[in-house]
Amino acid sequence: MSDDAVEAKVEYIQKMLSNIDTVLQRHGGIQNALADEAEARAAIMLSLMQVGETINKIDSDLLEQFNLLKDAKGAYSVRNFIAHDYEGVDLDLIAEIIEDNIQELAKKLEKLRASFESKK
């Protein structure tokens, strides 16, 4: 996969993470956002699914180089969890994932993206 293709995937994942942050801000936090079943919860779930699906398409050697392999596996597991049991999703687990993992993932992705900028 070309650097441009990987960079585009990283940018898309960053956009999805930013969308989650926007939803949380608009609703005053995770619990309020997840309680809004009609809009916010669906937006968060879709964004998490897209993160997992997209990061899974990035070469594992590159992910490992940037300490993202574990994150990628976790994100893809979350994607599967949501996609295959949407009604049974544990919202407390989703809140925990957002609280504990999203910011760190965003930082690691920024380092990966910056590596492409330095090559230009």
Instruction: Break the chain into its structural domains and give their ranges.
Output: 3-112
Q: Which residues contact 102 (CB under 8 A, 6 or more apart)?
A: 17, 20, 21
pLDDT-derived band of residue 4, with 50, 70 and 90 as boundaries?
confident
Q: Name the more confident of 119 and 69.
A: 69
Label residues 97-109 b or e (16+ Cβ within 10 Å = b): bbeeebeebeebb
DSSP letter for 36, please. Answer: -
pLDDT over 90, % of the chain: 88
In angstroms, rounded to a whole number, what is the distance separating the alpha carbons of residues 115 and 120?
A: 9
Q: Is the pTM of this model over 0.85?
A: yes
Cα dihedral 60, 62, 65, 68 sign: negative
Averaged pLDDT for residues 72-86: 93
